[in-house]
Each structure stands twice: as structure tokens, then as C-alpha cells.
Amino acid sequence: MRKLLALGLVGGLLAVGAQGVMADENAELVIDGKTFVTKLKAPADSPFDEILSGWRFRTDETQALQLDDFENPAMISAQYGEELWNTADGADGKSCADCHGDASESMKGLRAQMPKWHEGKKTLFALEDHINWSREEHQKAKPWKWESQEMVAMTAYIGLQSRGMPVNVKIDGPAQEWWEKGKELYYTRVGQLDMACSHCHENNYGNMVRADHLSQGQINGFPVYRLKWQGMGSIHRRFKGCMDNIRATPYKRGSDEFTALELYLASRGQGLSVETPALRN
């Protein structure tokens, strides 16, 4: 009885609009003369025929905002991140720049590889984990909260240094166990609606759920400015929102579960360009 009720609710959500109206399929994301990879042929082991960035599921107007750094509101956060990068903090009175120098050189490519295994801590680190580890280890500063303005700004700024580079996460070695856990979470039904991530972002991408045009759930643009939020948010904030939508108890931001899921989703978008900081609906 419970499953039948859940299926009825799911059907009601998806019945609002079958196929959404995508922006021009020939449109290209070009920023400062650089063309980003927003779609590519999927590998043989992918559930998709094509790998598509979430940018391709947005309206023409929303896409256009990301084309221009002066119009993209996410860039304000990245600029704040640059200020934080050069500001001394903690008991040691050091800034990030004191150790790492020019972020455009020292942080180039980092976002494209995240999450990744941290050999010192023997665990998988999201970018936020790396930042807090460095604050505590090198600055003797207090860690930032996951969704604080400071953390989101710093991840936006560090991510910006990898913009245009292909997503390239490692899923072998000690990261393999985490990847497998992330995959398990992706396909596990949870919540009152008895749904998994795959029901929306694999089985129904391109369709509408109420006013939302379902994408493949690619995470190559995070942290992102969402028009719905009227502000910036992390990958894990988006995960929480999805779990709330299907009436499930969400994991905590920064939890092993969300970090494992982040790795699995990043691997599904291998080769897409990093768009950080991106703009979404």
C-alpha cells in the first residue's frame, strides 16, 4: 500500500510536463573567448548516450547570465574568496597566499580532481575538507562551517582557477570503496516517496517536475548561484535539497555519505569542463 501511494505521488510530480523545452541544443558556453565542454559522447559504461552539463537544461536567459562574468552573480562570491585568500588569519597570522602564492598557479586543476583521497588523514576529502584542514594545520585558524559565506566564497575562488579544465577524479585505489558507496547511495530508494537519485536524474532527465527542468545531476559547476536560493550553495546543500524533496532524512553536509555521493557524481561527468562558479535556476 505504501509503495503504491509513493508511486502515485511520483506520477503526479512527473505528469506536470513530460518533455521540457531545452535551450538551443547547438548553444555553446563561451566565456572570455574560451569554449567549455558542456556535452560529450558518453563512455560505454555510462547510463547515458551523452554527458550533459546542467547548463544545457537552463533557459536561454539563465544561460546568458553565465556567459558574462559581469552579469554572473556568482562572481561576487569568488571575488570575496580572493579577498579571503590574501587575508591573514589564525594564531599563526598567515594568509593562504603566504604558503600557496598565486592561486591561479597553485590551485589550478584542484577543483577538477575533487573529491580526492587525503593520504595524511586516510580519508576522502571534498574541497571544503581540504580548506578546513589547511586552516587548522597551517594557519592555526578555526574551521569554517560548510555553508558559511567564507567557505562558499573560498570554494568558488579556488574552483575558478580550474574553470575550463576537464573533470578528472580518481576512483581507483583507496577512493574505490568510496565510489562504490556513492553509487549504492545513488540507486537506493529513500524517503516517503520511495525514490532514488536515478529516478529523476537518470530515468527522467529532460522532463519537468513542476517548474524544474530535470538535468542529469552533473556537479561540474559547484558551488553555484541558484536563482531559487538567491545566493550561493555547495554541492552538499543541493544533495540535502533533493532529499528534502522526496521527504527523506538528509545526511549532514560534509558527511561521509554525501562525500561518497559527490565522488560518484563527479565520475559520471568526467571530461565536462569545470564551470565554477556556475549559475543555475
**Catalytic (active-site) positions:** 242
Question: Quick check: helix, strand or coil at residue 87?
Answer: coil
Which of 235, 225, 238, 228 is CA-nearest to residue 277?
A: 225
Q: Give the DSSP letter of residue 112.
A: G
Strands 116-118, 207-209: pairing is unpaired
Neighbours of 160 (CB within 10 A): 25
CA distances in angstroms from 258 to 10, 123, 198, 276, listed in the order given: 24, 13, 15, 19
Is-cis flag, bond preceding 73, omega within 30? no
| 156 close to 73: Cβ distance less than 8 angstroms | no
Is residue 188 exposed (0-12), middle (13-18) or buried (19+ Cβ within 10 Å)? exposed
Would you give the DSSP letter of residue 279? E
**Distance (Å, whole) CA 147 – CA 233:** 7
Strands 224-226 and 278-280: parallel
Residues in a beta bridge with 213? 208
Task: Classify residue 51 by burial, with Cβ atoms within 10 Å: 0-12, 13-18, 19+.
Answer: buried
